[in-house]
Amino acid sequence: MCVFRKLEGDKLRLLACHGVDVDELSEFVDADLGIGHRLIQDKRPFGIEDVETHPDSAPHLKGARPNSFVSYAGTPMMLQGEVLGILGVFVKNSRRQFPDDDLELLFALGSHLAVAIRNHELFTELNSINQDLDRRVQERTHELQSANHELEAFTYTVAHDLRTPLRSIVSNSQILLEDYGDILPLEAKPLLNRQAESAKRLAAMMDGLLGLTRIRRHEVQPIQLNASRLAEEVALEFIRANNANPPDFFIEPDIIIGADSRLLRILFQNLFENAIKFSKPDEMPRIRFRRDATDPSVSFVIEDQGIGFEMEYADKVFMPFERLVRDHEYPGTGIGLASVKRIVEKHGGSIAVQSHPGDGTSFIVRL
C-alpha cells in the first residue's frame, strides 16, 4: 500500500492512499515521531526490510497495527530544499529490500508530488484571490453604476429644471429691448443682448445634456436596416434647412448594418451638422457617407472637406463641452460628438477620427 501526507506545522495530514481504506488511517499523525520524523530531518529516502527488528523503526510500528506490513520505504517530498510532506510505500506480506535505484525512483516521485502539491496550493490561492477580486470588482461596479445613475438623475433634473428660468431670462431681455428700448440707456442695450445670448447658449447646453442623458437611458433595440436610406433622409433635412448654401452629400447606396434606428438617426444628425458647421468659409460643405473597402470591420465612414484639426487633439473632440475653436467663430456646445461616441458605445462599438488642418475630417464607425 502507499500513503502520502502533507506537512502542516507539527502534524502530517493525510492527502491520499492506495491499497488501504482511507477510513482506517488517521487524518493527522505527529510529525516529530518515528519514520516520518527521520524523513523530515534527513531530507532523503530510506527503506526498512523488517519493521519489527530494524532499529530505526518507530516503537509504535512494532506493536499491534490496524494495517499490518513487513517492509517500508519512505521519502520526503522535496521542493527547493523544503519538505512539503512524506510518501510511504508499505509491503504487507513479505520482506523486501529497497536498493538505491528504488529509493532514487521513490525520491523522484516524491519531488514530482511536491511540485503538484505546490501547484495546487498556488492554483487554490490564485483562485481565491480571483474570486475575491471578482467580488470586489462587482461591488465596485455596482457602486459606480449606482453613482452614475444618481449623477445622471441629478444632471437630468438640473438640466430640465433650468430650462424654464433660462427661457424667462431670454424672453424678459427681449421684452425689455423691444418695449423699453427707447428709454433704456445706450450702454444697457448691449448688456441685455449679451445676457440673452448667454442664456440662449446655456439653454442649448442644457438641451445637449438632456439629450446626452436620454441616450444613456435609451435601451438599444438593434435591427438590420439600410443605413444609406436613413442617411439620405437626414441629409435631405439639412439640404432643406440650408437653402442658401445647401451641402453636397455623396451617400454610398445599400450599406446594411445592425443598429438602433432612432440612435443611428441622432448619430447622423450630429455628424452631418458637425461637418456642415466646420466647413471652410465660402465653400460648399461636402460630406461623404461610404464603406471602407480595405476594412470589413468598419460599418461606415463619414468624411468632410472642412477645416480639420491637429490629431493631438483627437481624444478631446468626443468629450462633452470640449471645443477646439472659438465660440464666436463656430457656435456650438460641444455635446454633439460626445453624443455620437455614447451612441456608438451603446452599440458595443468604437469610433475613431482622422483629421488634418485644412484637409477635412473622417469619422470611422464600427458598430
On whether residue 116 sits in a domain, the answer given is no
| DSSP string over 229-296 | HHHHHHHHHHHHHTSSSPPEEEE-S--EEEE-HHHHHHHHHHHHHHHHHTSPTTS--EEEEE--TT-T
Tell me what the mean pLDDT of segment 175-198 comes to: 83
Shared domain for 268 and 346, answered yes or no, is yes
Whether 122 is covered by a domain: the verdict is no
Residue 113: inside a domain: no
Task: Note whether 245 and 259 are same-domain residues.
Answer: yes
- 329, amino acid identity: E
Whole-number percent of the chain with pLDDT over 70: 88
For the chain, the domain total comes to: 3
Task: Mark which of 217, 232, 253 sits at the end of a domain.
Answer: 217
Q: Domain for residue 112, yes or no?
A: no
Domain of residue 25 covers: 2-98
CATH of the domain at 86: 3.30.450.40
Regarding whether 230 and 211 lie in a shared domain, the answer is no
SS3 15: strand
CA distance 216 to 331: 25
> Would you say how long the chain is, in residues?
367
> Is residue 186 domain-shared with residue 229, that is, in the same domain?
no
Does residue 236 register a pLDDT over 90? yes
The answer to whether residue 103 is domain-embedded is no
More confident call, 12 vs 187: 12
Last residue of a domain, one of 181, 200, 217: 217
94-98, 147-151, 281-285, 324-328, range with the lowest pLDDT: 324-328
Position 231 in a domain: yes
> Has residue 133 been placed in a domain?
no
Q: What is the CATH number of the domain that holds 361?
A: 3.30.565.10
Per-residue confidence (pLDDT) for residue 63, from 0 to 100: 43
My answer on whether 245 and 264 are in the same domain is: yes
* CB neighbour list of residue 315: distance below 8 Å, 6 or more residues apart: none
CATH number at residue 157: 1.10.287
Which of 187, 217, 247 is a domain's end point? Answer: 217
Write the pLDDT tens digit of every residue in 28-72: 888 887 778 888 888 999 898 888 777 666 554 544 445 578 888
d(CA 160, CA 163): 6
Same domain, 228 and 347: yes
AA identity, residue 311: M
204 falls within a domain:
yes
Which range is most confident: 207-211, 218-222, 256-260, 330-334? Answer: 256-260
Does 82 share its domain with 165? no
Enumerate helices (H) and strands (E) in the chain, giving the number of each.
Answer: 7, 13
Does one domain contain both 266 and 348? yes
Do 287 and 308 lie in one domain? The reply is: yes
